[in-house]
Amino acid sequence: MKSRLLPWPRHTALHLRENAGALTVVVGIALLFLALDAASGGLSGEGAILVVVLGVPLALSSRGIGVRTGIAALWVQKPVDPVRYYLTGAARDVAVSVGVTFVLLSLLGIVALLAGLDPPVHPVWTICVLSAVPLVVASMASGASMWFPRTGWLLTLGALFFTFYLRVSTAMNPALEAQRWVQLVGAVLPQWESIVSLLDLDALDASTVAKALLRILLYVVTWIGVGVLGLRRRLANGSVSRMTFP
């Protein structure tokens, strides 16, 4: 019998069921932020948005495609190319993360309107752009987990916090941006500037959109490549059982 990966609908259903607890926590915290915003008045749900766009990809894409158990699912089937298996699994997890984030942001937007919070000026465009955040975070978590299966999600979270810290520091002290180490570190941190630039509709043109999307996609592809290198390393040192594949 020819070896096949799980069909997309079944994979998605199983993946969501396996991570239902983590997703429930993310949704609960986001709703709590919305409730606090509604009670305080004047806020518009930024905290809930941040929880969703960061929490969902960390919950769904930080298992290293089963690497914690030696990619056992890979060997249950007839042998397949582990790199192809990883790339397919990573693409699926990233796609699921983006899709779930889009749905949750849409639902949170409806809840925010019912709670009396101010909606964004262009809600559909804003939700689409914010869905690029889980695309970036999911690729980071997936790639990091192939090197560090147990702590990949924690390293990704640490990188995200450091990114925000660096943004705040440079905003308060613009002279930091000229320092060499900040420029070098900024090159490997998430491309938030590209995503934020897409939210400024007044300053957008075709060239700006193209450049921002290209930077985001290159960053995502780079992290997928990091994951491939991590998988090859684990295969080479015997961390993952090796079998003959076509």
Mean pLDDT of the 169-178 span: 76
pTM: 0.76
User: Which residue, among 241, 227, 232, has the nearest Cα to 71 in the 3D structure?
Assistant: 241
C-beta separation of 195 from 133 below 8 A: yes
C-beta separation of 238 from 153 below 8 A: no
- Most confident segment among 168-182, 208-222, 230-244: 208-222
User: Which residue, among 153, 146, 154, has the nearest Cα to 240 in the 3D structure?
Assistant: 146
Q: Give the tens place of pLDDT for each residue, 74-116.
A: 544 555 677 777 777 777 878 888 888 888 888 887 877 776 6
User: Which residue, among 117, 91, 110, has the nearest Cα to 15 in the 3D structure?
Assistant: 91
